[in-house]
């Protein structure tokens, strides 16, 4: 694990630009050289001070490259999607982020391309005679709708799987990375990393490391052996889906034993990679909609911002935005739509949720040692739990209660309540019903 990355107190803001900025569902002319450009990316500059005030340190952008529809059906990774703008718009946004000390990450797709990618279009036109046929897994001897069969990403016909055994594909991926690193990008999120051969990603890492030794490489790993994938693929960070599920499920079921099990796994993960921690992203139901009891939103956030790893806020969660993901075509629409409030317009519960995010992010920013501290569960029952994170000289304790009655917790001496609510008693500290608290030595 790249320990030097963990010395920064990083909190990322994850944003899906096509939905956030209200772009058309489909690109009117994907891959076309000419055509109207909507300079929506420039609108994100107006949100940057909002991010600074929130306290995050980096902006992770979902797919921004030319695509057919949702961004992951890439047509040209060297060009910005015309629904979002052009390269000057992205470079300008990166420059504005730099002025505010915000790091910038991009979502890159190296597992597959869209059917409108010119290399696959060439295969459609020339079949076996195409010079690009070896870029894909194609069986010309098996008939299909296109006259042949080709490998797809999880059965989606619009997503054509690349042949990662072809050295030209690797060279292309490295050149994509080089192109955008030269324009100021600090991090890459590797989409569907769990489905890309580990040897491909390991070689990719060795080559991009020469370009940018401190590049943060976030692998999307939904299932599988996280540790084995991270080690073999040489990923800096891995999306912690196990923790995501355990957070909301343990709160909904009033069963902190599930979370405790996930935290034991988290401890092991931290020995091998930097977990990317989240309670929502562009592929999951919003945390405000997932929780069966809205009183537990602070509990979920307290967990997120006090655990080792890299915490990430999905754009809109800081407003309490709602939306569900459905297992159907277009099922991501609710969780990727524009936000209900613009910066400075927050009111009611949305304002309170914003203030809670800012408070907990401030707790995190003030304690950078939490990023790679030693985690341990210290108190556990179905409806209450406590865990601590230690460095050599500091200690933080998080206590959670989902019961309808108060619970007592014993804390090490010298700790100060830095967030949440509790009542100090003679021999123990009492946490109120549905309460939570964070105590720290510094």
Q: What is the DSSP string of 326-391?
A: -SSTTTTGGGSSPPS--TT---HHHHHHHHHHHHHHHHHHT-GGGGGPEEEEEEE-SSEEEEEEE-
pLDDT at 3: 42
Same domain, 298 and 408: no
Q: Residues 311, 399: one domain?
A: no
- Domain finish residue from 372, 394, 412: 372
Whether 24 and 118 share a structural domain:
yes
**Beta-carbon count within 10 A of 46 CB:** 12
Number of domains into which the chain is organized: 2
**pLDDT in the model for residue 366:** 96
The range of the structural domain enclosing residue 67 comes to 3-372
Tens of pLDDT, residue by residue over 189-248, are 999 999 999 999 999 999 999 999 999 999 999 999 999 999 999 999 999 999 999 999
Question: What is the value of pTM for the model shown?
Answer: 0.96
pLDDT, position 8: 60
Locate 13 and state its tokens.
């803001």
Last residue of a domain, one of 372, 388, 416: 372
Looking at residue 420, which CATH number applies to its domain? 2.60.40.1180
Same domain flag for 305 and 396? no
Residue 34's pLDDT is: 79
Alpha carbon distance 295, 352 (integer Å): 12
In a shared domain, residues 428 and 304:
no
Q: Judge if 304 and 416 occupy the same domain.
A: no
Are 53 and 110 in the same domain?
Answer: yes
Query: Do 245 and 393 share a domain, yes or no?
Result: no
CATH number of the CATH domain containing 84: 3.20.20.80
pLDDT, one tens digit per residue, over 104-119 is: 999 999 999 999 999 9
- What pLDDT is attached to residue 1? 40
158 and 76, same structural domain? Answer: yes
Long-range pairs of 43-52 with CB within 8 A, sequence gap ≥ 24: 44/15, 44/17, 44/20, 44/93, 45/92, 45/93, 45/96, 46/343, 47/343, 48/96, 48/97, 48/100, 48/102, 49/100, 49/343, 50/343, 50/344, 51/13, 51/100, 51/102, 52/100, 52/102
Spans of the chain, pLDDT less than 50: 1-7
């Amino acid at each position: 694990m790249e320990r030097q990355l963990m010395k920064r107190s990083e909190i990322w803001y994850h944003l899906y630009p096509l939905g956030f900025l209200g772009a058309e569902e489909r690109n009117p002319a994907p891959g076309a050289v000419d055509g109207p450009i909507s300079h929506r990316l420039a609108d994100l500059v107006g949100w940057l001070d909002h991010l600074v005030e929130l306290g995050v340190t980096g902006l992770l952008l979902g797919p921004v490259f030319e695509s057919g529809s949702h961004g992951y059906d890439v047509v040209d990774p060297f060009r910005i999607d015309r629904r979002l703008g052009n390269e000057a718009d992205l470079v300008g946004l990166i420059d504005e982020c730099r002025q505010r000390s915000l790091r910038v990450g991009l979502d890159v797709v190296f597992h597959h391309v869209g059917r409108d990618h010119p290399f696959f279009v060439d295969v459609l036109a020339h079949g076996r005679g195409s010079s690009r046929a070896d870029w894909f897994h194609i069986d010309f001897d098996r008939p299909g709708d296109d006259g042949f069969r080709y490998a797809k990403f999880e059965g989606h016909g619009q997503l054509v799987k690349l042949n990662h055994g072809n050295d030209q594909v690797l060279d292309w991926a490295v050149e994509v990375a080089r192109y955008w690193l030269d324009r100021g990008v600090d991090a890459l999120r590797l989409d569907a990393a769990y489905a890309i051969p580990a040897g491909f990603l390991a070689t990719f890492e060795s080559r991009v490391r020469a370009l940018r030794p401190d590049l943060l490489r976030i692998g999307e790993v939904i299932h599988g052996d996280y540790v084995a994938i991270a080690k073999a693929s040489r990923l800096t960070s891995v999306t912690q889906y196990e923790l995501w599920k355990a957070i909301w499920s343990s709160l909904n079921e009033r069963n902190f034993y599930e979370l405790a099990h996930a935290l034991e796994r988290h401890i092991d993960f931290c020995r091998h990679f930097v977990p990317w921690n989240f309670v929502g992203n562009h592929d999951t139901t919003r945390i405000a909609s997932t929780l069966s009891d809205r009183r537990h939103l602070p509990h979920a956030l307290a967990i997120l911002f006090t655990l080792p790893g890299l915490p990430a806020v999905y754009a809109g969660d800081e407003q309490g935005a709602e939306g569900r993901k459905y297992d159907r075509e277009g099922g991501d629409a609710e969780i990727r739509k524009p936000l209900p409030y613009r910066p400075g317009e927050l009111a009611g519960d949305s304002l309170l949720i914003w203030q809670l995010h800012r408070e907990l992010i401030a707790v995190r920013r003030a304690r950078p040692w939490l990023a790679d501290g030693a985690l341990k569960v210290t108190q556990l029952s179905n409806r209450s739990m406590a865990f601590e994170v230690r460095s050599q000289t500091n200690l933080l304790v998080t206590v959670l209660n989902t019961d309808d009655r108060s619970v007592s917790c014993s804390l090490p001496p010298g700790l100060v309540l830095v967030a949440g609510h509790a009542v100090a008693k003679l021999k123990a500290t009492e946490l109120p019903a549905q309460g939570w608290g964070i105590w720290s030595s510094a």
